[in-house]
Structure 1
């Protein structure tokens, strides 16, 4: 029903485009950090009553349901969900031309509602329609699936189709926010729209589009920037969509670089942490890159035991998480009791999903990220003999989780190698790998571990947010100094660093990780529990009060959306 969108039309002026978004665990329209960030952004926009509409793909077949085989290998399956169970179909349809065919798109409406009633709409674009050819009905099926041409078609649907859908529904959008370069084709649609309305030449048309667009770039990893062959672009979009002599200076001479296109047609560009903005500036010299460090939606990622604790002394903490700066006033025994409740919940889930019985009195180290090379998920387990020696003095346990992209053979090998190392450590050290890492499992993991580990290879971490979620629950961080942790780490106060400036090599990081565990982290847990709990409270008050999506969205609103 189109009427369902009416309450949002007059009060919405900003459109946020993202290839993926994590709305709830049952809606499989996300793969990892990018989608989790988009979901937290939507929740904070509802909290703050910001005039934003979100545009994404339906991704009916999901991203990946992970199964772990007996030999430790990842087995991937489709992870379908039914939009009809969670969203409202809107009757409006628009078409985009793909290979000369009209591909029809219909939106599903999902409404994010905050506890005090404010709402923001999310449009999930769907091509699974009777009006489409069988091959076109599958364009919005698999998130990040298929080959390069399939991805190109998806990004046409997202960027061009999304911009047209907003117009067809009656939205009057003044600002378009591109969450990563996947939606950069919307800038070309805006160029065409400006030209049809009587633009004064390419330079003026580009300036007009730049005034309307905000671009947040995420990955410093070259493979993370989509590039398409111009012959494929011409075949998919048609030669006359945008003249190629105009497109190449904006998107790259050899291949169409979606990041380059977004950079050239956005008036405000930012990285997702200070260090990441510096890295992006080096990757793309000549552009002004601002920095707005990511945050997480505090009520979503806080365990109920901690939420009750916060509510008792800070009743408005969910809406104003900056109030958590006063968490250092919490009583030690209350903080520890809440943590033990969260830990028991995690240990029960580990036992249920893996059959491994963990000890509640032994410190639990957690690592859960996308399994790929630069995140180095295998760094902790690299030296089995050293780990045994540390465990002999200070026993510890390890829980890990994470999916590898179906095309990432290195990441899949890492998962199998991690299982091999875990078998070598057994039975001396309890370890578990929890399959099918998703939003629901993440909530349990970030709240129930004692120590959150992050080991990216600098400077390839964009921001990272899992450690922020852990800190909301009093979990201490041990991390390489990259991404957000450079801003949050007060060594020995909010957690610990691996290395000193993030510039050390992989081998040095491995040695420093073990030295930190044996020399500081585990001795503090066992021998100075009062200091450990004091650090838990410092982590909450200094990290959770700042690294949240309320602060992030206030900055976007004042610095990116409202510009001279």
Structure 2
């Protein structure tokens, strides 16, 4: 018989073992090996069967074993030490507190919203890179001491578990997850009642959700769960699975994540006695509705009008975009959004005009509501996730800032990072401790000490990790073949499949088309020759999930599986199903080379290669995402990109040929060239160089510090300025003044004109450094001269007189002209030689703007 529903009963711990409860439910254990070792020592075999999950272990261990441990002095000593260490970690001043003590103006609280979080494999609330990045952000924020609260959804079935059919087709299974069997606690009030958030939906429906709290070190992660008795049956399934369902289902999830997420924060901070966050960070546009909820709060609680409330919200909001293609953005039909946000009672956001909500998500297509556009309009500060992605994002969203060159669009970049203690193998962490004397790996000087390490020791670590990976591949291969219907009698070959001494290449990631899973199969015979080369063979491990609705991606997986199933090569290439954090970790540890061949520039960042680099792996990649930024010629290999070739098939041919050639002529020779000690000297120099140069750069701690310095602190200061009462004034006066300025500017701007530009001072034959005087006459349509910036723009020009890499020079107001026009002038030495051109433009000017381009308004001569 099959159970109707499952639930978990946790064991009652003896008083002396009570500290195991906090150690098991604070997810710091997932990056703290001594704590993992303590739980493993309770029952090593059971630990493995429970998937290295402390909560599951404590639910399965026998009471007799717990009573035995309560009398085990050595176990109790370790338990007390680890409990004290966790308490010290949670309470002592860390980097953030030290910055605050030194006078830095930091936010008292930060709210971080994401639709997925990959913190640990025991909490499968992630599908791929976005979630893993969010999980690493929380861990690094905890390690640095940030007062951060994270918000997402609790998916009853998480993302799917992947398996393969006998024919190699991806199959999906959605396991039912019991929150009581996970490292979660239910948020309750002082009387023990579950805290609920409530949202009004169309047709008088009410969506309610309870709040599960996952403790990620110092950081609480609030996960909203709609599967509660208070909901109608169809609404209980709103949080059923990640990225499932139709658009109607998706908009309910995003409304719950954004609006419900803000309300969950309010409930959490009230119950815990914490200050409200000052800064709100949207990790992608999925949670963009949080900004509208904050506007509603300010209108309702503080009596602000919409424009003033929007000004406050924008000043304290950060938006990070992760997609490099418009197709990756969530877009809803306008009529669908209008139905959810209708003014008529009962309203989701009473008092908030529907047309203002719709305007926030407006795009070129008037029938679509664009979540990324809303995120950009609600945030004063926005960024991409690598330098190249920042450039791509500025071009992709240029339409929101018409009249500005792509380089001027106010979207910056912070390159992603990875959490070292989650992804680096224990052997590398131990070496780091020996070199540093601590667990702090952020200082470049530490990584330079690798120069002192004997090459033999580096090779020993790499060889150990490759051997561990081979064992894991054989185990997973056997499991996969059995699931596909093979018998044990057919699988004798697996015991000798793969070789711990062979150059091992990994390719593991989601399987959208642009990542080109099958580029390696472009010339199957050539790949087979590489795999079976008698002197310099390679072995290739492939993994990744295709979206359940993407049959094209599933077909790519099947193509790889069918090639790898062939008896001639199956001992050298494998597709491993059910790619997750535990598999990824083994791949990063053991692969010598990390392969990445996306269509440039469609990889926003691609952090998997960073994790490989942390383990001494060498990247073999197209120059995209982070690799475009940090490839230096010695830390791996660049696959030349043919991104200027319009024919996609020819482009794939060119890039696959380059890939094969690199493997044959550069990668394999360096790996197999050995000295008298049996070591590959040139390979190990590349490994050492990779660790030294990339180690300090790829860290999530570096990334989070960048967010604090460049986004969180400035956003907090902007937010405070909009709220603070000036002397003799009232709260929000600054916000009211800025909102009024914006209204005035936008009304006047169509009538702002540059009526005349004169140039004087140049000799007949200008030389570099010759002085040019420009004078512009401007009609300001009633605006004051100090409410605008007038700029001269100089630069080289192409054959179409388009300015290239222009230099801007602010012009000085010199007085009024006839007819009420205003005159601005500047004298500047010519900064460049060659064919030079200039123009003049007018921009809004206000001390509370983060950028002169912020409003998207510009008048050109």
1:28 partner SS: coil
Q: Larger RCO: Structure 1 or Structure 2 (Cα < 8 Å, ≥ 6 residues apart)? A: 1
The answer on 1:192 being equivalent to 2:296 is yes
Contact 1:27 1:81 in 2 (8 A): no
Shift of 1:457: 0.5
Contact 1:28 1:80 in 2 (8 A): no
Q: Which has the larger radius of gyration?
A: 2
Once the two structures are superposed, what CA deviation does each residue of 1:272-315 show, in whole Å capped at 9, x if it has no partner? 00000000000001241111000000011011122122221123
The answer on 1:277 being equivalent to 2:390 is yes
Report the equivalent of 2:155.
Answer: 59
Contact 1:324 1:544 in 2 (8 A): yes
Once the two structures are superposed, what CA deviation does each residue of 1:133-158 show, in whole Å capped at 9, x if it has no partner? 11111111201111111111000110
Report the equivalent of 1:116.
Answer: none
The answer on 1:98 being equivalent to 2:239 is no
Shift of 1:256: 1.2
CA distance in 1, matches of 2:612, 2:443: 15
Report the equivalent of 1:144.
Answer: 243
Shift of 1:500: 5.6
Distance 1:294 1:526, change over 3 A: same
Match of 1:495 among 606, 612, 636: 636
CA distance in 2, matches of 1:358, 1:520: 22
Distance 1:28 1:495, change over 3 A: same
Match of 2:552 among 395, 410, 419: 410
Report the equivalent of 1:17.
Answer: 113
1:406-485 equivalences in 2 (<5 Å): 406-424=548-566, 426-427=568-569, 430-485=572-627
1:110-121 equivalences in 2 (<5 Å): 110-113=214-217, 119-121=218-220
Moved more, 416-425 or 477-486: 416-425
TM-score (norm 2): 0.62
Distance 1:481 1:553, change over 3 A: same
1:496 partner SS: strand
Contact 2:642 2:654 in 1 (8 A): no
CA distance in 2, matches of 1:69, 1:501: 35
Report the equivalent of 2:359.
Answer: 249
The answer on 1:369 being equivalent to 2:472 is no
1:532-551 equivalences in 2 (<5 Å): 532-551=683-702
Match of 1:210 among 290, 314, 326: 314
Report the equivalent of 1:384.
Answer: 524
TM-score (norm 1): 0.94
1:367 partner SS: strand
Report the equivalent of 2:277.
Answer: 173
The answer on 1:520 being equivalent to 2:692 is no
CA distance in 2, matches of 1:421, 1:77: 24
Contact 2:110 2:280 in 1 (8 A): yes
Report the equivalent of 2:420.
Answer: 298
Distance 1:319 1:137, change over 3 A: farther
CA distance in 2, matches of 1:361, 1:17: 44
Shift of 1:425: 7.7
CA distance in 2, matches of 1:71, 1:63: 23
The answer on 1:309 being equivalent to 2:421 is no
Distance 1:382 1:311, change over 3 A: same
1:71-90 equivalences in 2 (<5 Å): 71-85=167-181, 86-90=183-187
Uncovered stretches (5+) of structure 2, i.e. residues with no partner? 1-24, 27-89, 92-106, 189-194, 402-408, 479-493, 646-650, 675-679, 718-861
1:197 partner SS: helix
Report the equivalent of 1:221.
Answer: 325
Contact 1:306 1:339 in 2 (8 A): no
Contact 1:108 1:125 in 2 (8 A): yes
Q: How many positions carry a matched residue from both structures?
A: 552
2:214 partner SS: strand
Match of 1:349 among 472, 483, 486: 472
Contact 2:341 2:354 in 1 (8 A): no
Contact 2:600 2:641 in 1 (8 A): no
Contact 2:163 2:172 in 1 (8 A): yes
Shift of 1:421: 2.3
CA distance in 2, matches of 1:290, 1:503: 25
CA distance in 1, matches of 2:368, 2:395: 20
1:19 partner SS: coil
Once the two structures are superposed, what CA deviation does each residue of 1:479-503 show, in whole Å capped at 9, x if it has no partner? 0000000112112x10000006865
Q: What is the root-mean-square deviation in Å for CA atoms of aligned residues?
A: 2.0
1:120-159 equivalences in 2 (<5 Å): 120-159=219-258
CA distance in 1, matches of 2:443, 2:575: 32
CA distance in 2, matches of 1:503, 1:181: 30
CA distance in 2, matches of 1:222, 1:483: 17
Report the equivalent of 2:758.
Answer: none
Shift of 1:84: 1.5
Contact 2:140 2:419 in 1 (8 A): yes
